[in-house]
Amino acid sequence: MKGMRIGSTADDRGKMPRVDVVGSGPRAETRPADRSLGFTKMQGLGNDFVVIDQPAFRPDSANIRAIADRRLGVGCDQVLLLEPLDGNRFRYRVFNADGSEAEQCGNGLRCLARYAYDLGIPEQTLLEFEGPGGKHRAQCMAPDRIRVDMGTPRLEPAEIPFVAPSRALSYPIDVSGMEFTVGAVSMGNPHLLLRVQRLSTTPVNKLGPALEHHPRCPQRTNVGFIEIVDRGKLRLRVHERGAGETLACGSGACAAVAWSRLMDWVDPVVSVHLSGGILEIEWEGENHPLYMTGPATRVFSGVLSL
């Protein structure tokens, strides 16, 4: 994780990075160069990330937008900054494709765990990650199954945050003159949840942005659209704050199951089917931690010139 050289200064702000891919797969190496930044592209169920393992790198929003650009940069839903602490402990930050910083990312945590294992930490080792949304533990249960302790869902409106006079199972909310019933949950980052009859006909691209920027969501919010199949299975589409609809959202899957459990629609173990694949979520209920299990894959490594 050490030895890469950083090349980002105040004079570089607003410049578009040049991507020089120098290898692929888990054993790929990056070529150190002046004013260069090593990165690794990762994905979890199609939710993709650029992982930068250089603690001295201090990005601004223009850097993040340039890296995330799918035509002129590497392309990703989020940029993850990783800082090794000691042994199996790490600190991380999450930036959305629009340059804003997020508190949490469930798929991102699985990818960071896979990244650490690929660098030589033995599988089955319990990893600890510290981020703005709290502390989380992750463990590789099998080559393609990483289990993350996502912590206890937060349900008080002030902790989400969501504007409401008091906590409730669900809340009425007005969008463009239409009233919807939503759940509100924080998994270290805010989520609004809506149950729908058919995901295929739900206007996610319209309702998602409207709810993301709703006045009752002071820090904006992720928006999950839930179709209940049975007590052990649900389908989910997520409009992510600052990124738009993604193929998968780990924290969104966790929030969807938490609300569905509170509403007594599902059992403690739920298979969540997203556009990019399937996550397994386990939650016994209030005052218990919630667990997410799913895959994460290293795609390629390269060098950015900023």
* Sequence letter at residue 303: V
Distance CA 223, CA 238 (A): 6
> Which residue of the set 105, 140, 217, 254 is catalytic?
105
- Establish whether 140 is a catalytic residue: no
Taking a C-beta distance cutoff of 8 angstroms, is the pair 193, 226 a contact? Answer: yes
CB-count exposure of residue 207 (10 Å: 0-12, 13-18, 19+)? buried
Query: DSSP assignment of 148-215, as one string?
Result: EE--PPB-SGGGTT---SS--S-EEEEETTEEEEEEEEESSSEEEEEE-S-GGG--HHHHHHHHHT-T
- Write out the two tokens for 282: 């386990």
Q: Is the link from the previous residue into 165 a cis peptide, with omega within 30 of 0?
A: no
Instruction: Quote the tokens at residue 205.
Output: 């691209």
What whole-number distance in Å separates Cα of residue 128 and Cα of residue 169?
32
Within 10 A of 61 (CB to CB), how many other CB atoms are there?
A: 15
- Of these residues, 76, 140, 217, 249, which one is catalytic? 249
Active site residues: 105, 249
